[in-house]
Structure 1
């Protein structure tokens, strides 16, 4: 399936002229990238369950007005804040019945502040749990045991209908998160993890625009990005920017693309904290990524 993502990206990038890829700029950027750092969940059953279940809700950490998501003023905000809120909640994430029956009011309290598509995320999370239950999996770890490789897990996520995206950003991110915890527990990533692509995420678009890995030839698109005006998820320009990120992964040395994705994402956050990024986050209000 990751091969299909690459072919989709090639087709999209080849039929447009607004965006071009300059892979020669990657080397200097990669030299700045930190190691992946600490994993985001404990490598136990609950942490692994949470890594899987975060996937359906892992998108667009802005408010409906385009402001960054900061529940209760939390810092850092964004995806880390929602992960932390889910980890701290007294919910048994290993029990798929408990997840499927999660009341929406409890979910809204957990989210803790304005967030784009809060109720839609609840529908995806509980719907994903019901999908796994319908396949005879009562426990999250049982579901993962039935999808033991990167390829089978990716296919299982896509088949659930909760991860729709031509670039499979959330599905591939979820596979890597689960694999990272498997590596922490057993010393080995999931078989086939090296086949994942670089993820078509707005943060890597931001980083690659900043570093000149992605070059925008359209003055109108440049203004759109710099003025932080939202792009439509299915706009040709958005698809081209995301495709360029995916194809950049073919020029990376010294590790598989999903591992580089984490390193480059961490670099983006560090440069942002230091006020060094010349380009704002590319704003796309979507449930895809």
Structure 2
């Protein structure tokens, strides 16, 4: 069930992204908000909140892949590194790293936007020059963080899953836990469904696209995050025996207590 601890955190971030996109980005794209609203501090707060949740999802996928790697390669150390107390450290590290990335971008006043000159998405950093915001060169540290988020970490996760898949094929003749294999499939599904929008956005940063295509890219990214946020808990609920067993046990317990509670209340009423 440790895997579902990380899944809960990931699903929470996906829900916040979905809700923020639904109430902030989509109305802004449809020009339902005035220019003053889109430039307000509240709008920027939700924009940074979406980015923070997006980074937390990436780090969640990273931790999930590491936990799966321990299960298949370092089974004897799995409980030691992912026991109850250690899980809180892993969960906290996800938010700490996500906040660190967000703080680095906010402190340099960097945001992604479509550049009409280069005709692609770029990370634009601005500096306050006596009350006038001026575009400056992207700091080397921000460039390193950008490369780490968009290329290094997703590639590292993919390599882990490829290595695990190769090990499963190698161990095909041995007895494998169907539950562990199912959880691995679920972890890969989560990684791919959330990485799909990131790949499209990464493509839009390195290749020239029209303004209409840029609008479609942004809508695709937002829509995929909303769909991923809705599909992920549904997928795990219907495919996880642990969750279904837990829910059915709770429902059965509540149902069995129902008549007895009614009888107790009735007896108290007679008294």
TM over 0.5: no
User: Which is higher, the Rg of structure 1 or of structure 2?
Assistant: 2
Which structure has more helix as a fraction of its residues?
2
Q: Name the TM-score, length of structure 2 as normaliser.
A: 0.26
Q: Name the TM-score, length of structure 1 as normaliser.
A: 0.24
Which structure has more strand as a fraction of its residues?
2
